[in-house]
Amino acid sequence: MIDLNFCSIDEILSKRRTLRRELLAATNLQELRIAVLGGSTTDELVNLLELLLLSSGFRPVIHQSEYCRFYEDAVVDPQALIDFKPDLVYIHTSCLNTQNVPPLDCAEADLPGYVQAETARYCQIWDSLESNVGCQLIQNNFETPPRAILGNMDAVSPGGMSRFLMELNIAFAQETAERPKVILQDVHGISARLGTRQWFDWNRYFMYKLLLTPEANLELARSLSSIIGSMYGKSRKVLVLDLDNTLWGGVIGDDGVDKIQIGRETPVAEAYTAFQEYCLSLRDRGILLAVCSKNTEAIAKSGFAHPSSILKLDHFSCFKANWEPKHENLLAIAAELNLGVDSLVFVDDNPAERDLVEAQLPGVAVPNVGSEVSRFADFIDQGRYFEPLSISNEDLKRAALYAENAQRAVMEKKFANYGEYLDSLEMVAEIDTFKPVYLERIAQLTNKTNQFNLTTRRYTVAEMKSVLGGSGHLGLYGKLADRFGDNGLISVVLGRKDSDALHMDLWLMSCRVLKRDMEFAMLDAVADRAGKMGVNTIFGYYIPTRKNGMVSDFYSTLGFQPSNVLPSDLPEGSTAWKLDLAGYNRRNRHIKILEYSNA
């Protein structure tokens, strides 16, 4: 199977039917209902999107609006969308679909009114879809216009189309930032990187109302697929790097620290420095870095002592330098970080090592970066492995959190028993009902957490917001800090009240706080709140997946008993558990609860 992220549009289109047939044969595809509301003909875009989503583990069912009826289908007559019941709606428009365009003689003071009027028209679309459909929305911003009527002044004059679209894009960014149900797709950036001369296809537009070139539609589909993948927890989390001729030029074991190529003195050295800067920028936004190198560990680490090295040893959350096969070291890295191998992206200049890892660990992403370090960052960027929907404080602190975990592991070895170790951590937890300020992080956890996740049900911010505003639900978050640092928001539970019972639809926790007894503190909070809601029994459910086997006996360890009451909509292999709250005794022994409101 070809990697759709790196093949040409001609190759994809020539093999589309074969690719589709092979991809549809895969098992365990997740059905996803998508409505596409287009300002131009969207058939080609939809066909490409289907392939990309199939290759990502989805089985898309796609509804398309009629040509240029995106506003009507969303606002005037949304019944077809209501009946379709989409999981998400994509509003695909272009600069040709704008209406409130200022005249060429527009005064500076009047331009904001035109921008506001056009933004308001799209707000009508978003408001109607939020009200009538209620799912997550994806809206693109606007590319640069195909022609600059005013020349260079088009981006300066208040009557220039380029200026108007720039202002409109800013207004869209500001408006959608306040709307958790709307995700903005950066078509302006995508089209700029491809080039507007390769973006529009006027022959196809005048003949078929297909505005964009096949290349442009492929880039849009790739972008959209990465956004959807991120929504459903498929973004990668770790960049694993080789060392020799990957992070620096030369072989550290042969050349020594003084002779490796890094710094600003030569073009080659500067290219390696630029790649290190790129890797560090990924770490700064929450991507973990790891090393996987065939080398002697002490020699490998000495390379980072070079005065021009941007990356330092403490930037890496895991370091494996030895003579074992690299696929085995990648398995060890995943285990040490408590992540699946499908969280890893492996970059190595050696094609033999790349082939071996691809063959032995199909879940690991292995971009074919070649041997030119100047292009490494482009290949990683093109793969869209690390697509974020938001950047939380936890993301920005993630590498530090893993470093703090390493300190905890060292501390654990100093105590005679595990209880003493837990007490020594001086843990403090905040457990409370969902708050609007945390909804983004809560939704992010539901989509990123795969191992310590009892049901692996995914929620968008929009869905979490509806839960927050509804009755009959109990949603609790948990934050945990200790003497080494603050882990942030790391646990989420969501229950649904039915008569005098509470059914747990969601129970998850970040693996970086495993074996810290946070689950007992969360259960105490659930039992307390449930009792105040008139609940006598809590029902918990385990839905097995390829990744969550570690929690198969979770409810048993909490004191739940097996139950024969298993909802009919749960898949084969699921189990049900119940806990009677009569005489419930608190389980938490080692964590101080800092805040737990009684509201």
Q: How many whole angstroms separate alpha carbon 574 and alpha carbon 410?
A: 37
Residue 130 banded pLDDT, cuts 50, 70, 90: very high
CA 220 to chain centre: 18
Tokens of 444: 């992010």
Phi-psi region of 248 (alpha: psi -120 to 50; beta: other; left: phi over 0): beta
Question: Which sign, positive or negative, has the C-alpha torsion 163, 166, 171, 172?
Answer: positive
Residue 429 bridge partners (DSSP)? 480, 593
Three state DSSP letters for 188-248: HHHHHHHCHHHCECHHHHHHHCCCECHHHHHHHHHHHHHHHHHHCCCCCCEEEECCECCCE
Residues 177-204: what's their mean pLDDT? 94
* Phi then psi dihedrals of residue 522, to 5 deg: -65, -40
Q: How high is the mean pLDDT of the chain?
A: 91
Burial 333-362 (b: 16+ CB within 10 A, else e): bbebbbbbbbbbbbbbbeeebbebbbeebe
User: For the residues of 508-560, what is the DSSP string, one character each?
Assistant: EE-GGGTTSSHHHHHHHHHHHHHHHTT--EEEEEE---SS-GGGTTHHHHTT-
CB of 249 within 8 A of CB of 269? yes
Query: Is the pLDDT reported for residue 597 higher than 60?
Result: no
Burial 449-482 (b: 16+ CB within 10 A, else e): bbbbbbbbebbbbbbbbbbbeeeebbbbbbbbbb
Residue 215 banded pLDDT, cuts 50, 70, 90: very high
Tokens of 268: 């080659």
Q: Show contacts of 111-115: CB within 8 Å, 24+ apart.
A: 111/158, 111/163, 111/164, 111/167, 112/167, 114/164, 115/164, 115/167, 115/168, 115/171
Which tens digit of pLDDT belongs to each residue from 66-124? Answer: 999 999 999 999 999 999 999 999 999 999 999 999 999 999 999 999 999 999 999 99
Residues 511-519: what's their mean pLDDT? 86
Residue 407 banded pLDDT, cuts 50, 70, 90: low
Residue 392 banded pLDDT, cuts 50, 70, 90: low
Residues 241-261: what's their mean pLDDT? 93
Higher pLDDT, 496 or 28: 496
Higher pLDDT, 65 or 450: 65
Residues 521-542: what's their mean pLDDT? 94
Residues 174-180: what's their mean pLDDT? 91
Residues 496-512: what's their mean pLDDT? 91
Residue 164 banded pLDDT, cuts 50, 70, 90: very high
Question: CA 562, 567, 569 angle in degrees (round to 5)?
Answer: 135
Residue 599's pLDDT is 42
How far is CA 263 from each of CA 4, 168, 248, 362, 507, rounded to the nearest angstrom?
35, 41, 9, 35, 48
Three state DSSP letters for 414-435: CCCCHHHHHHHCCCEEEEEECC
Question: CA 502, 507, 510 angle in degrees (round to 5)?
Answer: 160
Closest-CA residue to 16 (of 26, 6, 2, 30): 2
Contacting residues for 75 by C-beta, under 8 A, at least 6 apart: 124, 125, 128
Residue 458's pLDDT is 85
Residue 254's pLDDT is 86
Q: How many whole angstroms separate alpha carbon 137 and alpha carbon 126?
A: 8
Q: Which helix (H) or strand (E) holds 497?
A: strand 485-498
Query: Is the pLDDT reported for residue 487 higher than 90?
Result: no
Burial 181-214 (b: 16+ CB within 10 A, else e): bbbbbbbbebbeebeeeebbbeebbeeeebbbbb
User: For the residues of 326-387, what is the DSSP string, one character each?
Assistant: HHHHHHHHHHHTT--GGGEEEE-S-HHHHHHHHHH-TTSB-----S-GGGHHHHHHHHTTT-
Closest-CA residue to 75 (of 130, 138, 12): 130
Query: Is the pLDDT reported for residue 189 higher than 70?
Result: yes
Query: Is the pLDDT reported for residue 277 higher than 70?
Result: yes
Place of tokens 């995700």: 183
Residue 53 banded pLDDT, cuts 50, 70, 90: very high
Domains of the chain with CATH codes: 9-231 (3.40.50.1110), 238-383 (3.40.50.1000), 409-595 (3.40.630.30)
Which tens digit of pLDDT belongs to each residue from 415-470? Answer: 767 888 888 889 999 999 998 888 888 888 888 888 899 998 888 877 787 777 66
Please tell me whether the overall predicted TM-score, pTM, comes out greater than 0.85 for this model.
Answer: no
pLDDT over 70, % of the chain: 94
Q: How many Cβ atoms sit within 10 Å of the Cβ of residue 580?
A: 12
Phi-psi region of 308 (alpha: psi -120 to 50; beta: other; left: phi over 0): alpha
Query: Is the pLDDT reported for residue 36 higher than 90?
Result: yes
Residue 395's pLDDT is 67
Closest-CA residue to 421 (of 430, 408, 433): 408
User: 146-160, 409-423, 519-533 — which is least confidently predicted?
Assistant: 409-423
Residue 495 bridge partners (DSSP)? 474, 504
Query: Is the pLDDT reported for residue 162 higher than 90?
Result: yes
CB of 287 within 8 A of CB of 239? yes
